[in-house]
Homo-oligomer: A and B are copies of this chain.
Amino acid sequence: MAMTIRDIAREAGVSTATVSRALRGLPNVDPVTRERVRQVAERLDYVVSPAASRLASGRAGSIAVITPYIARWYFARVLSGIESVLQASDLDLLLSSVGDPSESNHLPPHRKLRRRVDGFLVISLPTDTPGVGEIFDLDLPVVLIDTDRPGCSSVGIDDVAGSRMAVQHLVNLGHERIGLISGRALPSPFRPEENRIVGYHETLAEAGLAIEPDLEACGHFTIEGGERAMTSLLARPRPPTAVFAMSDEMALGALRSLRSHGLEPGRDVSVVGFDGHEMAEHLDLTTVVQPVEQIGARAARALLDRLDSPTEGPVHVELPLEMVVRGSTAPRRDRS
């Protein structure tokens, strides 16, 4: 039924070895022979059997992307960036989502991927997550996104710096009671979450402002979580006049909470987000923009490089952040 390399060899009047070399662009093939083989393969609509090729070569021909989520804004975008790079390579992209490591539905990716990939791209997951830690025992190249580990390549942003930009902006506007909407109660399994909290605390401290647990609330990275968090902050004895939300989605929830309390974002309470969600632009949210798709693309490229030249050492890429100031932040005014 399907063509085999022997069919091509026979038809082109050469050996299977030559067909293999010619089609893969290996050296030591007469240009004329190579072209003839190419023509025949084309004419007979031949494509190599990946299974046979992989068995013989020992390479899996695929890389795995391991992510906690697929549909969430950030992860979908990183994935898209990864795919855009892998598309042009000859590797298959195997997708595996494992859920939040702190949730009960979390399931380890490790077993399913054994012997079927040449490398891993891990998004956000801590390296000691069950099922993820074992990946490093496989002796395959791994590129980490949003976290790092000795001897392992990594791509990400400077979360501490980004968080500092956001909070410093509020400080500069004269705010003295600056709240935080974080993801969950510490310790978080996710590195960016911890680092953004660090940036928040550091900046407050340097500005001579007190760090009060009463200024912090958890928003679980969702819109409604952010809304609840803001509502909770507003209900406290001495509510903040400004808030840094660790993600745009939580910040958008916070905006909504403000409005439903008759408060206007910016004028009454300033809000800064983090991400660069499209919705931020349309809801006039000040935010720290990270180049999400690029994060994925750079990580994928780093992995490809590593597969091409396995002797190279690990690479660490840090992508730049940009603060976009919009109407949700304004100088502090005492509320009447």
Contacts and interface: CB of A to CB of B under 8 A. Distances in A.
Nearest to A252: B282
Interface in A125-181: none
B278 A223 contact: yes
A71 B60 contact: no
A23 interface: no
A205 interface: no
A79 interface: yes
Given A76-B70, A92-B94, A282-B256, A50 B116 contact: yes
Interface string A95-135: 11100000000010001101110000000000000000000
Given A83-B95, A115-B2, A253 B224 contact: no
Contacts of A49: 55, 115
Interface residues of A, number: 48
Candidate in A71, A107, A256, A278 with the most chain B CB atoms within 10 angstroms: A71
A253 B281 CA distance: 11
Q: How many copies of this chain does one complex carry?
A: 2
A86 to B, nearest CB: 9
Contact of A71 (B47, B80, B111): B80
Given A55-B52, A224-B282, A97 B80 contact: yes
30 contacts: A2-B115, A49-B115, A50-B54, A50-B60, A50-B115, A50-B116, A51-B54, A51-B55, A55-B55, A70-B79, A70-B80, A71-B77, A71-B293, A72-B76, A83-B97, A84-B97, A87-B97, A87-B107, A90-B112, A92-B92, A92-B94, A92-B116, A93-B94, A93-B96, A222-B278, A223-B278, A224-B278, A227-B282, A252-B279, A256-B282
Interface of A: 2, 47-52, 54-55, 60, 62, 69-72, 76-77, 79-80, 83-84, 87, 90, 92-97, 107, 111-112, 114-116, 222-224, 227, 252-253, 256, 278-279, 281-283, 293
